[in-house]
Every structure is written in C-alpha cells, then in structure tokens.
Amino acid sequence: MSELNVPNFGELLSPYIEKVPPAAIPNFLALLERGAAQRYRDWADQLPTFSKGLLACSASEDKIADIIESLFLIDDELTAEVQAPLPEARDTYYNVFKNLSLADQLGIQADAELQGAEAWRVMISDDIPDEINRGLKQCMVLEEESSAYLYSILDDVRQLG
C-alpha cells in the first residue's frame, strides 16, 4: 500500500478563500462543509455496509455549517460574495478524490476533517464572544469524530476492494 498524498486543503483552497471578504470566511467554509456532507452521502450510497456511519458524518458536516451560519450572520451582499467562488472551490476539492479508490478517498477525507478541526481551532479567540468560541469548539469535536470514524473503517473498506 502506498502512502496517500494528502493535500493541505487550506493551501489548495486559498485562491478561492482569498476572494471572500474576511468577515465572511467562516460562512464560505460552512458552504464547503455542505459540499463535504454531499460527499459523505455519495459514499454512503457506494458503501452500504458503512452507510449509517457515513450518513452520521454527513449530518455532522451539515451541523457544522448550521452552527457557523448561526454564529456568523451575513447580509445578502456578502452572501453573494461568498457564493461566487464556491463552484470552483468545490470542483477543486472534488478533483482531489478523482481516480482514487474509495479507501483512499476516505483516508484523504479523514485527514481533511482534522485540517477542518484545526481551521476552527485557530478562529477561537479571547476577543470574540464565548458563544462563538463554544460553537467553534463544537465544530472541532464534530470534525474530529468524523475523522475517527473514517479511520476506524479504512481497513475494512480496503478489504472490499
């Protein structure tokens, strides 16, 4: 088994993140979480043995997006600016998984979840309200739980071929 080449998703997506006003970056990341939720639903369809766990991960991604969108409210103008680079960012994210086995896709996603947890962690600050910090910490936990689940099934998925 060769070692996976896992990209730094922050660097990979930075050209798109940079197009978003700084105040709306959490909202952009929330939309990317919704894209990841769809990936989990697709994997659940492809791996029925693991569908319950993968759908739970999908729900976690949507929950993260819900938390962030409730904590970082933006107006309609900012919403349009957040959505403009989203299709290309999602395509870039999805292209990472092209032509990979399901096990390798899940391995990359497991690492991506840890990168996501780190992204939320670095936003935590004494300079923002406690409610936001609590929400960011909840997002970290959800990311870490999804990562742990993916790592727990990787060997079994590899055995499926």
To which residue do tokens 């990562």 refer? Answer: 147
* Mean pLDDT of the 53-69 span: 99
Does residue 15 lie within any of the structural domains? no
How far apart are the C-alpha atoms of 3 and 14, rounded to whole Å? 25
Does residue 4 lie within any of the structural domains? no
Does residue 135 lie within any of the structural domains? yes
Does residue 45 lie within any of the structural domains? yes
Q: Do the beta carbons of residue 36 and residue 111 sit within 8 Å?
A: no
Q: Taking the model in full, what pTM does it have?
A: 0.94
Note down the domain range covering 94: 22-160
Does residue 10 lie within any of the structural domains? no
Does residue 7 lie within any of the structural domains? no
How does pLDDT run across 68-113, given as a tens digit for each residue?
999 999 998 899 999 999 999 999 999 999 999 999 999 999 999 9
Q: How many domains does the chain have?
A: 1
The mean of the pLDDT values for the chain is 95
